[in-house]
Amino acid sequence: MDLILVALAAILMLIGILGSFLPMLPGIPVSWGGLLLLHLTSVIPVNYTFLGFTLVITIIIFALQYAIPALGTKYLGGSKQGMFGATIGLFAGIFIPIPFAILIAPFIGAYLGEILNKADSRTALRAASGSFVGLLASTFMEFVVTSIFLLLFIYKLWEFKEVLF
């Protein structure tokens, strides 16, 4: 049973890394689920401090992932309407079955939000660029955290390899 849990945990860890690039998959929560499954084996003791700390990081990064594109819009001169448009675009991009929709939709949303706010095209384009840069930053941040979770997973496996295998 422990090997099945470890295999499922490993699959979740890999899906989590993919989820940092694919918006349909919540990468960080899935990776944390892999860490949780690993600690649910009878061999690896449950470390509540470790799981609690990684859960807090998961929640913070997951929330920031949706806030950063809107903050990028605001940082580059966007208005509240541009931030709102970027957020709507981000959520819409998740459900649009077009390749790279998750990258394009927040950009378009921020641009339209600024145009509706009566901004000129140049200001709207600058704010939309902030949304795009914010999205790239949040994707990179999620990839880094899921990679660290994978390294922690491998470390725990290595630490208990004699008992597990």
pLDDT at 45 over 80: yes
Calpha distance 157→27 (Å, rounded): 21
Question: For the segment 85-130, what is each residue's pLDDT rounded down to a tens digit?
Answer: 877 887 788 788 777 787 788 888 888 988 888 778 888 888 778 8
Calpha distance 123→138 (Å, rounded): 23
Q: Could you tell me which of 3, 62, 64 has the C-alpha nearest to residue 30?
A: 62
Calpha distance 71→113 (Å, rounded): 14
Task: Quote the pLDDT of residue 107.
Answer: 83
- Give Rg (Cα) of the chain: 19
In degrees, rounded to 5, the angle at the alpha carbon of residue 102 between the alpha carbons of residues 30 and 151 is 30
Segment (H or E) for 22: none
Other C-beta atoms lying within 10 Å of the C-beta of residue 47 = 13
What single DSSP character describes residue 160?
Answer: T
